[in-house]
Amino acid sequence: MTIVAGGTDAPRNSLDRRRRAAREAGGEQYELRRRELVQAASRLFQDKGYQGTTLKDVADALTIDRVTLYKYFSGKEELLREVTTDCILEISQEIRSIAMNQATSRLKQIG
């Protein structure tokens, strides 16, 4: 799926339509498998680098067929976006936690 002009989340082709249908039908199991694929891709990107990692590597890490991977992601670029998004969210949560701890510590000093 792709965000197209006007902000509409519309499938571009039959594979996008099938991916959307699989996501809707698969629910939680589909999302869990997507998370596993993102985690595997993250490890492989760290170990082999983005350029050195293939979709076959990601599929092999979870013992699935490379073609099955396209049920979850349009390609390596989409996997990289997901890995990057996860990293940003993780860093943001850590920053919030540090800020909250510092604020709590200051309040204890005051009170």
The tens digit of pLDDT for each residue in 22-50 reads 777 878 888 999 999 999 999 999 999 99
Percent over 90 (pLDDT), the chain: 57
Q: State the average pLDDT for the chain.
A: 85
Q: What is the pLDDT of residue 100?
A: 86
pTM of the model: 0.71
Q: What is the pLDDT of residue 13?
A: 74
Ramachandran region, residue 15 (left: φ > 0; alpha: ψ -120 to 50; beta: rest) = alpha
Q: What is the pLDDT of residue 19?
A: 77
Whether residue 53 contacts residue 43, with contact meaning beta carbons closer than 8 Å, is answered with: no
Whether residue 79 contacts residue 38, with contact meaning beta carbons closer than 8 Å, is answered with: yes
CB atoms within 10 A of CB 79: 25
Percent over 70 (pLDDT), the chain: 88
Query: Over 60: is that where the pLDDT of 81 sits?
Result: yes
Q: What is the pLDDT of residue 10?
A: 58
Query: Over 60: is that where the pLDDT of 6 sits?
Result: no
- Token pair of 108, please? 């204890």
